Amino acid sequence: MKRQVALLMTIIVGTVLILSACGKDQNEGEATPENGAGSTGQTSVNAFGWQLPAKTTKIHFYQAEKGNPDKIEKKQAAFHDYLLKEFNVDMKRTTLDVEPKEKLNLMLVSGDYPEVIAGLDDSAISQWKAQNKIMDLAPLVDKYGPNIKKALGDRYASYLDENGKLWGIPRGWGYLPIPDFTAHIRWDWYQEMGAPEIKTPEDYYNVLKQMVAKHPTNANGEKTYALSWNADVKVNNAIGFWGLQDGYKEDADHNLTHWLNTEEGKQAALFYNRFFLEGLMDPDAFVNKFEDWRTKFSNERIAGHIGPWWQSWNAGHEVWRTTDPNYKEDKRYVQVAFKAEGAEKAYLSPKDTHGWNYTVLTDKAKSPEEIIKFLDFTMTPMGTRLMGWGIPNITDSYWNFEEGGKWSFNDTAKQALLAGDLDYEKTEAANGSNIFWLAYPQGLLSDDNKSTAWYDQNFNADDKWKKLMLDNVSDTIYESTERRVIFANDNPLTIKNQQIEELIKTGFAKIVMSKSEAEAVKNFEDLRSKAQKIGLSDIEKYRTEEYKKNLAKLK
């Protein structure tokens, strides 16, 4: 009897071992681009093709951007729970209402930093690498990141250093053919003038001047201005109407000359001074904090603006639709384009396809391979949709998703967006869209070449006003990837470049606010002289050399 029991137990144990081995083969399977390579030890596959890790993958990261922690927490809560339940990934973001550079420096000094940090620029990468605080990700990407390599394609090599090491995964890379910066004009006021043609800066000036003459004050008797900016104004964009790209003029041999050393740059600065001299420029244009500027804007005190297109939407009709009982859709700002005489084009929206910055894994990462596996998933088109549009198949979803990869936009959300009724704060708190942007692209997705992670940019052809914007200003968008220059901490020109940039911020404002044209010319020449003394010629030379190197790589 004992022999029979022993024999039976042997058979049972053997059968269990065989079944276990078979189960292991079936679970591991062949690594695919969708679920990541090297997925040993993972159990089941979810509807997105993601193999759930046997142990929860933890990705708690600091995003090096200034922001309201309470708002971040509110927006990420539901999406955190969704990812934990459906992907077994515990993802949490920390963003603080402090300057990120200060916080990053404090982290380095104290040694108190997380496993993952998002939003490091090239300079910060150099600093953290020098102190051996971040990991070379190339071996991990080689083994666990087939989608990272596939998505980046030939661009992947551009992220490696001279030793073939990868210190960060790019964020927001790729080309998205939509405008960022434009000129704006109060549309209903423009229509009542008969919509005269605007082809040059002079035309824009004259139209705005006539608008203010017709509407000198708002309903409260407050003075109106032809032009206003806020503290976010970018000089390089404001002077792009004169054919300058990223603040530089390029000759036939690809030599770059800074705008301070060009006649075009001088004319651009004097053009804006004209607004001030005639009392048409908001005197607070260079110091307006966004919320104060937004109030001034929505109080109907501004005829024109040059800056991000969404600023005049947010401060204009998106406010009036809810506050003006007699609101009509023409009461809004529309984006327009023009260029100076002799300029080939207006260059307003540079597109650096390399990306905004990077996500890094620090030396504290306990399971870096698991983190890379998930980042690899987010690089797939469907992974990007999930991270970009948030939770599918709920009341406040932006989209619907079915097992097998079939997806569609949530028509309720789409129609609310097109009607201008979408409550972003409510829906984004429910679905978590774009709260965890660690690695995926901002450009068009490779599987359909038309959808993008930015939910509200997926229906531009269906939106009357966005279509008008694109029709007006699409020619002002340009790729600037090859112009990108790294000013690392160990580069002796880095401090000079920073000093010149700071000098220009105050110097340009001084030119624009000059009390006479002669004074504006003098202030322009003084600014140029000071920049030259710091080393502007060296900066021009370095940028030109780097630009030509990048161009050579394309051949």
* DSSP structure string for 252-307: TT--EEEGGGSHHHHHHHHHHHHHHHTT-B-TTTTT--HHHHHHHHHTT-EEEEEE
The single-letter code of the amino acid at 362 is T
97 — pLDDT class (breaks 50, 70, 90): very high
Q: Is the pLDDT reported for residue 555 higher than 70?
A: no
pTM of the model: 0.82
Quick: pLDDT tens for 14-38: 433 333 333 333 333 223 334 443 3
Quick: pLDDT tens for 119-155: 999 989 999 999 999 999 999 999 999 999 999 998 9
pLDDT at residue 490, rounded to an integer: 81
If residue 237 lies in a helix (H) or strand (E), which one and from where to where?
helix 235-238
Q: How far apart are CA 284 and CA 281, in angstroms?
A: 8
The answer as to CATH 3.40.190.10 being correct for domain 181-347+485-554 is: yes
**10 or 448, which is more confident:** 448
pLDDT at residue 24, rounded to an integer: 35
Give me the architecture of the 49-174+353-457 domain, per CATH. 3-Layer(aba) Sandwich (3.40)
Listed by start position, the domains of the chain span: 49-174+353-457, 181-347+485-554
Q: Is the pLDDT reported for residue 170 higher than 80?
A: yes
Q: How far apart are CA 137 and CA 134, in angstroms?
A: 9
Give Cα separations from 419 to 177, 318, 411, 459 (angstroms). 23, 11, 12, 12
Q: Which of 39-48, 266-275, 439-448 has the lowest mean pLDDT?
A: 39-48
Q: How far apart are CA 209 and CA 275, in angstroms?
A: 9
Q: Which of 40-54, 76-90, 399-413 has the lowest mean pLDDT?
A: 40-54
Quick: pLDDT tens for 235-274: 999 999 999 999 999 999 999 999 999 999 999 999 999 9
Closest Cα to residue 302, out of 332, 328, 267? 332
Quick: pLDDT tens for 389-399: 999 999 999 99
pLDDT at residue 452, rounded to an integer: 97
The reply to whether 49-174+353-457 and 181-347+485-554 are identical in fold is yes
11 — pLDDT class (breaks 50, 70, 90): very low
How high is the mean pLDDT of the chain?
A: 91
Q: Is the pLDDT reported for residue 7 higher than 50?
A: no
Q: Is the pLDDT reported for residue 10 higher than 60?
A: no
Residue with tokens 């990120």: 100
Give Cα separations from 164 to 145, 158, 160, 439 (angstroms). 16, 10, 5, 20
Mean pLDDT of 207-216: 98
Q: Is the pLDDT reported for residue 353 higher than 60?
A: yes
Q: What percent of the chain has pLDDT over 70?
A: 92
420 — pLDDT class (breaks 50, 70, 90): confident
404, two tokens: 């097998």
pLDDT at residue 489, rounded to an integer: 78
Q: Is the pLDDT reported for residue 1 higher than 70?
A: no
Mean pLDDT of 223-238: 92
Closest Cα to residue 210, out of 237, 184, 191, 232? 191
| Cα of 174 vs its chain's centroid, Å | 11
If residue 181 lies in a helix (H) or strand (E), which one and from where to where?
strand 181-186
Q: Is the pLDDT reported for residue 39 higher than 60?
A: no
Q: How far apart are CA 492 and CA 541, in angstroms?
A: 14
Q: Is the pLDDT reported for residue 85 higher than 90?
A: yes
**104 or 32, which is more confident:** 104
Q: How far apart are CA 464 and CA 419, in angstroms?
A: 10
User: Do residues 357 and 120 touch, judged by C-beta distance below 8 A?
Assistant: yes
Q: How far apart are CA 185 and CA 189, in angstroms?
A: 8
Give Cα separations from 132 to 100, 107, 119 (angstroms). 20, 13, 18
465 — pLDDT class (breaks 50, 70, 90): very high
